[in-house]
């Protein structure tokens, strides 16, 4: 029996948008509620877009985080294809990542190589078990190989490096992904998009749930038989309004990025992640632009509150004062140019920030930090209310299907 009311999905970031598209594909009417004026406008579009194979999570001793990321990565393109059709072929990934091992990395190159080979083995097993899976349209047999010292020296200043690896890992241009998904939402007759509606609370009522919030027209209230909470920074506060207590150790961080135009001689160079500690990423995109972030100077906010400070909202929606943006861009570019020659030649055109939601009390340079384990994620259901913790961009499509499965179980019961 179909629900008489539309399924209400809270939050139109990458996660909520994918949930809405999957539910609509299954024949459900969906009301997609978003605080901003368009879908996918905050963290989902302001991160590096890496489709994680699990390589960076080498300090989770059980390996569960790497497996989770790998599974999400192998579902990422197949599921986008489900919702976007042939349009997904327009998406072109970054150059492949080199993983550089810093001289103060938490793990040595030999320890990292052992982890990488385990990920590679698991990837082969997953691909062999399911022919529908792929990594951004490819089914690679090898994921990683160690770089000789002379090759490292061709690309980088190696004085602070212990070694490096060439990988098959890539990143997507998050804005290109967002624009295709926005179009899919706008064109789908089963999805009613409700922009500029900030959700404040959800309560149980006689017919299921009462969703409350405010927007440009003032306070609003809707009823829903089922609710999917796919908000990002406010997810746990909304859960708490329904009586679901937050998990301990929540941490919000505000990390800035720089987008810049590359000089021609850098446009085919490798993308880079430095490991394992407080470092950063360089993402070389096929359109001649680059994403840059260097954690020691890019991380500008740290909060254990249930929701991040309201003062972070401007940076998270692309509103950064010119003087502040110039200073952040200069600091990030100079820090990366110290080991990636030529980066100082880039021409910045955008500086903004994303909110990272995770669990931990200390930073990533602490071997015991909870930030090395990203397994406290996924879908939790409470009698028609479904809370989705995405964790990483990579996992959003796969968790969207899990959330839709949970909703459909409630519809048919």
What is the C-alpha end-to-end distance of the chain, expressed in Å? 8
Mean pLDDT score, 97-124: 98
| Separation between Cα atoms, residue 125 and residue 143, nearest integer Å | 13
Mean pLDDT of the chain: 96
- Residue 279's pLDDT is 98
Q: Return the C-alpha torsion angle 209, 213, 216, 219, nearest 10.
A: 90
Is a pLDDT exceeding 90 seen at residue 4?
Answer: no
> Nearest Cα to 315, choosing from 300, 296, 294?
300
Secondary element (H or E) of residue 75:
helix 64-84
The alpha carbons of the chain give a radius of gyration, in whole angstroms, of 21
Task: Identify the pLDDT of residue 178.
Answer: 98
Which residues, at least 6 apart from 278, have a Cβ–Cβ distance to it below 8 Å?
295, 296, 299, 363, 364, 365
Per-residue pLDDT, 68: 98
**Residue 39: Cβ within 10 Å count:** 27
Is beta strand 250-261 parallel, antiparallel or unpaired with respect to 299-303?
antiparallel
pLDDT of 129-138, one tens digit each?
999 999 999 9
pLDDT of 39 reads 98
H-type helices in 277-380, by residue range? 295-298, 313-316, 322-337
123 torsion bin: left (phi>0), alpha (psi -120 to 50), beta (else)? alpha
pLDDT at 1: 36
Per residue in 55-94, pLDDT (tens digit) is: 999 999 889 999 999 999 999 999 999 999 999 999 999 9
Asked whether residue 170 carries a pLDDT value surpassing 60, the answer given is yes
CB 198 within 8 A of CB 214: yes
What is the per-residue pLDDT across 91-107, written as a single tens digit (0 to 9) for each? 999 999 999 999 999 99
The percentage of residues in the chain with a pLDDT greater than 70, rounded to a whole number, is 99
Q: Return left, alpha or beta for 180; rule: phi > 0 is left, psi -120 to 50 is alpha, else beta.
A: alpha
Residue pLDDT, tens place only, 231-260: 999 999 999 999 999 989 999 999 999 999
pLDDT-based confidence at 413, cuts 50/70/90?
low
């Amino acid at each position: 029996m179909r629900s008489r009311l539309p399924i209400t999905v809270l939050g139109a970031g990458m996660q909520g948008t994918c949930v809405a598209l999957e539910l609509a594909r299954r024949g459900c009417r969906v009301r997609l509620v978003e605080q901003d004026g368009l879908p996918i406008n905050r963290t989902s579009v302001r991160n590096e877009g890496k489709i994680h194979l699990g390589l960076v999570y080498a300090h989770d001793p059980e390996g569960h985080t790497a497996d989770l990321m790998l599974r999400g990565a192998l579902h990422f393109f197949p599921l986008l294809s489900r919702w976007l059709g042939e349009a997904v072929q327009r998406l072109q990934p970054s150059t492949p990542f080199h993983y550089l091992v810093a001289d103060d990395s938490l793990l040595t190159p030999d320890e990292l190589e052992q982890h990488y080979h385990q990920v590679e083995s698991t990837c082969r097993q997953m691909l062999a078990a399911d022919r529908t899976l792929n990594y951004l349209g490819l089914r690679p047999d090898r994921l990683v190989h160690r770089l000789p010292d002379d090759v490292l020296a061709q690309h980088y200043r190696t004085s602070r490096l212990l070694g490096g690896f060439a990988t098959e890992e890539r990143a997507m241009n998050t804005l290109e992904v967002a624009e295709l998904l926005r179009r899919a939402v706008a064109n789908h007759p089963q999805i009613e998009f409700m922009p500029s509606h900030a959700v404040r609370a959800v309560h149980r009522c006689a017919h299921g749930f009462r969703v409350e919030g405010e927007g440009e027209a003032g306070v609003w209230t809707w009823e829903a038989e089922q609710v999917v909470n796919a908000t990002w920074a406010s997810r746990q506060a909304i859960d708490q309004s329904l009586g679901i207590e937050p998990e301990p150790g929540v941490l919000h961080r505000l990390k800035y990025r720089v987008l810049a135009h590359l000089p021609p001689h850098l446009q085919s160079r490798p993308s880079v992640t430095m490991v394992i500690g407080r470092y950063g990423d360089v993402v070389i995109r096929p359109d001649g632009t680059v994403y840059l972030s260097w954690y020691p100077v890019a991380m500008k906010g740290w909060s254990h509150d249930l929701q991040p400070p309201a003062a972070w909202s401007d940076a998270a929606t692309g509103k950064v004062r010119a003087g502040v943006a110039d200073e952040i861009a200069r600091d990030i570019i100079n820090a990366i140019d110290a080991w990636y020659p030529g980066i100082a030649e880039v021409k910045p055109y955008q500086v903004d920030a994303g909110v990272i939601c995770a669990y931990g009390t200390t930073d990533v340079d602490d071997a015991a930090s909870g930030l090395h384990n990203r397994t406290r994620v996924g879908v939790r259901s409470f009698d028609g209310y479904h809370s989705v913790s995405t964790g990483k961009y990579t996992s959003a499509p796969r968790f969207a299907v899990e959330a839709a499965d949970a909703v459909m179980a409630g519809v048919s019961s």
